[in-house]
Amino acid sequence: MADPRQRVPGTDRVLAHPEVAAAADRLGHRLVKQAVHTAQRRARDGEIPTSEVVAETLAALPDSASSSRPVLNATGVLLHTNLGRAPLSRAAVDALGRAAGTTDVELDLSTGRRGPRGAATLAALLSAVPRAEAAHVVNNGAAALALAATALAQGREIVLARGEMVEIGDGFRLPELLTATGARLREIGTTNRVRLDDYRAAVGADTGFVLKVHPSNFVISGFTSAVPVAALRGIGVPVVVDIGSGLLHRHPVLPDEPDATSALADGADLVLASGDKLLGGPQAGLLLGRAEIVQQLRHHPLARALRVDKLTLAALEATLRGPRTPVEQALRRDQRSLLLRAERLAEAFRAAGIPASAERSEATVGGGGAPGVTLPSAAVVLPERFADLLRGGATPVLGCVAHDRCLLDLAAVPPEDDDELRRAVLAVA
């Protein structure tokens, strides 16, 4: 009797199957060949019929050559660091596709000669913040601060209030970044109070600049005092302001969050901000301010190591010039509409036999922005077990667990994703 393992189709035969060949064109030959070998092994071990090798191969293949998976953010945190912070606008996503090939990122098409890198993106940034004389972009907010400290204060002092010496996510401490550049820190004031005289007494011939940092992930309340940027105007050295979250203008929903335009109007010589937070764009560090300072940073050798690629430049320009970003839309959603959506979803789940309800909730900005601010929201309430089930589903959904319940907050979920959220819940029920 013939060994059934001899009927297992050969690798070349499976790879020649039209659907498998199409998958190899899309995902790469190596990845598909690995799936073929796995299916063949299962057939030889008797786990699947030999006739199912092609089907098993196709079933095992991912949708993309990348392991990155889209996740529905139902946590109630608009800028979730573990989920990549700001989701990009459709305009920015389209710009990424256009920039993925060969582009004029550093070419003047009118002359055929080398042109200024990312000129259109810098123009868009200056158009958005007319108060800035010049702009530069690096790969994240920490890089912006590192470049400023290296170019302006290496071997010199940076004057910084003790209450603004922050630690952000994953144990990253701002003082350690600053001293790693070769600058020295001159701490002034106490944890909760600093005065203008403290700054005046600290500034001297060895001062590189005064640094103001927005404590964007915590709030100190009670017996406190801080010195506004406007009071530091004319102090005799550059004033650098790290606003953190990336607002370019004052926002009606977040009136206490600092913004680049106001900081420059108050007298800041250089403003630093992130691109992937409240601005709603790709990860980037924005530097805006006086032309001579920005030029000094741009021509520093470290700037080359910190420069952004063509994809970031394209997505950032589209974010600045395009329609409202998903982050901006989320900030402006009203609780009534969110509650109506939550009630419709809960009704659909109950119809499928799933215990569900809708209730008002509170969302947060996240991503190191607007600490202490809550946004009126609404959530679908499910049994606690759904938290794990949804996280491991075909379409991962990240909710939160509170009081032995799974809450799916809709603040960061666009209305057009409600159907996908509904299908994800029904699929794991």
pLDDT tens column, 341-399:
999 999 999 999 999 999 999 999 988 778 788 999 999 999 999 999 999 999 999 99
pLDDT tens column, 219-259:
666 777 889 999 999 999 999 999 988 899 999 999 989 99
R_g of the chain, CA atoms, integer Å = 27
pTM summary value: 0.90
Q: Which domains does the chain have, with CATH numbers?
A: 4-60 (no CATH), 72-83+328-428 (3.90.1150.180), 90-323 (3.40.640.10)
Distance of CA 154 to the CA centre of its chain: 29
Length of the chain: 429
Tell which phi-psi region holds residue 92, choosing left (phi > 0), alpha (psi between -120 and 50) or beta: alpha
Cβ atoms 362, 381 nearer than 8 A: no
Model confidence band, residue 217 (pLDDT cutoffs 50, 70, 90): low
Identify the bridge partners of residue 380 per DSSP, sorted by sequence position: 358, 408
Find the farthest-apart pair of alpha carbons in the chain and give their distance in angstroms, rounded: 97
Tell which phi-psi region holds residue 190, choosing left (phi > 0), alpha (psi between -120 and 50) or beta: beta
pLDDT tens column, 95-106:
999 999 999 999
